[in-house]
Amino acid sequence: MVSPMNHSSAALGTSSGTGKRIKGVVAAITTPVTAALAPDEGKFVTLAKYLLDNGCDGLNVLGTTGEATSFTAEQRMGVMSAAAKALPLDRMMVGTGAAAVGDAVNLSRHAANLGFSGVLVLPPFYYKGVSDAGVIAYIGAIAEATADSKNAGGGIPIYLYNFPALSGVPYTPKLVSALVSQFGARIAGLKDSSGDLPYAKEVAAISPALDVFPSNEATLMEARNGGPFAGCISATANLNSKDCAKAYHDGDAAALARAASIRKLFDGLPLIPGIKVLAAHIHNDPALERLMPPMSAFPDPAALKARFDAI
């Protein structure tokens, strides 16, 4: 394994939470899976250490790329506990959203008690057309349940996860404003996977204390030197984290172009299976390709590997 990088002080700011706030390059880390269709906690820790040592300022554990909603709540808590034993939690936020508010509360409480830097929360995603009041009640239940935790300053920071293409329930700017008004500093930021940069900038303008992370590393230059974003939370940072780090920390435009070209490999193709194919390729471990149902194998892994190697 490569020795750890020296991260610039800009990568970590202060906050309520564990005393540090994640900024910069954040990989939405994949979750290795066993043949028995359970999280492979050992391989997960090894992969996480590699990413943290090779350009990532932080990790988003158990997000969409991490197939979180395909695991049971117990399995998700097991991954969190494995991380807590072996990894720096001040550099990690964890997805705790669930369709059932009780599951979201239990997952968030577990994350808070372990000492994660934040929880990343999808809205309740089965019923569509729900009111803002309903989403506020859902977030309120999580905030109340985690107010007494290891995290200083009133409870674990809550990051909203906007991915309406999958959740069907958007965190509109109006709703984000209402949540910030009601819960104050507990609403620490938002990850936006909609790809709508004007939306992301509008949300970032709600409060200077709100950290907004687009999901595309092409925005990293806008996270430098007082730009509107706090960094990016990207699936493809599993593959291009070194170049992302050069772009964010050093303003290296050539590195950003390389990182963006890796992301473009997946245009029109299934992202999560493809990320796992290339993770297995990079780490020479075919087991890293394994997916949870309902995901299925990438259609042409050999061609994808060849295109990646050519960059």
Helices (H), 115-192: 132-145, 164-167, 173-183
Q: Tell whether domain 9-270 is in CATH 3.20.20.70.
A: yes
Mean pLDDT value of segment 149-156: 70
Please check the confidence at residue 300 and state whether its pLDDT lies above 50: yes
The token pair at 175 is 């709703």
- Average pLDDT along the chain: 92
* Res 154: pLDDT: 73
Chain-centre distance for alpha carbon 98: 15
Tell me the residue ranges of DSSP E strands in the chain.
Answer: 12-13, 21-22, 24-28, 58-61, 92-95, 118-121, 158-162, 187-192, 211-214, 231-234
Mind listing the pLDDT tens digit for each residue in 161-204? 999 999 999 999 999 999 999 999 999 999 999 999 999 999 99
CB 234 within 8 A of CB 217: yes
Q: Is the pLDDT of residue 251 over 50?
A: yes
Side-chain-side CA neighbours of 12 within 13 Å: the count stands at: 19
Residue for token digits 């508010």? Answer: 101
Rounded mean pLDDT, 226-253: 97
pLDDT score recorded for residue 193: 97
Cα–Cα distance list, 171 to 32, 41, 106, 205, 260 (Å): 29, 32, 22, 15, 27
- What pTM was estimated for this model as a whole? 0.92
Full 3-state SS string of 216-256: CHHHHHHHCCCCCCCEEEECCHHHHHHHHHHHHHHCCHHHH
pLDDT tier, 153 (very low <50, low <70, confident <90, very high otherwise): low
Please name which of 226, 232, 175, 169 lies closest in space to residue 203, comparing C-alpha atoms: 175
Q: Domain limits of the chain?
A: 9-270
On whether the CB atoms of residues 65 and 167 are closer than 8 A, the answer is no
Question: For residue range 26-73, what is the model confidence (pLDDT) as tens digits?
Answer: 999 999 999 999 999 999 999 999 999 999 999 999 999 999 999 999
